[in-house]
Amino acid sequence: MRLAGSSAQRGQSESPFKLVIFDCDGVLVDSETIAIRVDQRVLADLGWDLKLDEIVRRFVGKSEADFVAQIEEHLAITLPAGWDRGYQSWYQRAFDRHLRAVDGIEDALDRLGLPHCVASSGTHSKIRRTLGKTGLLPRFEGRIFSAEDVRIGKPAPDLFLHAADSLGFRPEECAVVEDSVHGVEAARAAGMHAFAFSGGVTPASALAGRATTVFDRMTLLPDLVAGQLPR
């Protein structure tokens, strides 16, 4: 069933888009900087020393399953079930102390004037936990999509296509807000315009490319979505 907008949403005629699909980490919640520092500690504990920029390049925007697969391949090991249980407290403590909503996102959502959803590489439980902690969960309740819902995660287009189809929209009607190279690649592969947020851990130069609008302040997003013509 096609997702209906409010009267204000239906009255907005400027935007060529009908649905805005948000990534979660780094776009809605300011979690990437926190997570990659904990990732660095976890990887070092397993025997793989990586610099932060390499962690960004390899892992940001990808799923937890891909994180595990790369560890196993690089270290030539098979991680046992529950291998990460001892590390969860590391992430939890860091998020409890430092997690917050991305600066300006509440204002952007208030002014967007279009139906929106979240489609993240995180698990459903992680998405709900981080959105709940930052007060954003009610804005996306019932419109949350996870890499758990599809066979192949980002940079494949499957997750964004699944979100659009579930809510009754064609790919060309959708805009995607992402902050990672893998996420932007997934949006392009889905035939959707990417609005690439460079205010996080990934530099603008890495996000720029076809069918992509790069921006560095979340408060700019509503006007960009309203004025951006489809390719």
Q: Which residues contact 85 (CB under 8 A, 6 or more apart)?
A: none
> Does residue 226 register a pLDDT over 70?
yes
Residue at 206 is within a domain: yes
Q: How far is CA 39 from the centre of its chain?
A: 17
> What does pLDDT average to over the chain?
91
Please tell me the least confidently modeled range out of 4-8, 117-121, 136-140, 148-152.
4-8
d(Cα 189, Cα 123) in Å, to the nearest integer?
A: 22
> Does residue 10 register a pLDDT over 60?
no
pTM of the predicted model as reported, rounded to 2 decimal places = 0.83
Looking at the fold, whether 185 and 213 belong to one and the same domain comes out as yes
For residue 2, the model assigns a pLDDT of 55
- pLDDT confidence of 8, banded at 50, 70, 90? very low
**DSSP per residue, 157-169:** SHHHHHHHHHHT-
Tens digit of pLDDT for each residue in 133-179?
999 999 999 999 999 999 999 999 999 999 999 999 999 999 999 99
Looking at the fold, whether 74 and 187 belong to one and the same domain comes out as no
Q: What are phi and psi of 178, to 5 degrees?
A: -135, 165
Looking at the fold, whether 105 and 213 belong to one and the same domain comes out as yes
Q: Which domain holds residue 56?
A: 32-98
Looking at the fold, whether 118 and 209 belong to one and the same domain comes out as yes
Residue at 192 is within a domain: yes
Q: How many domains does the chain have?
A: 2
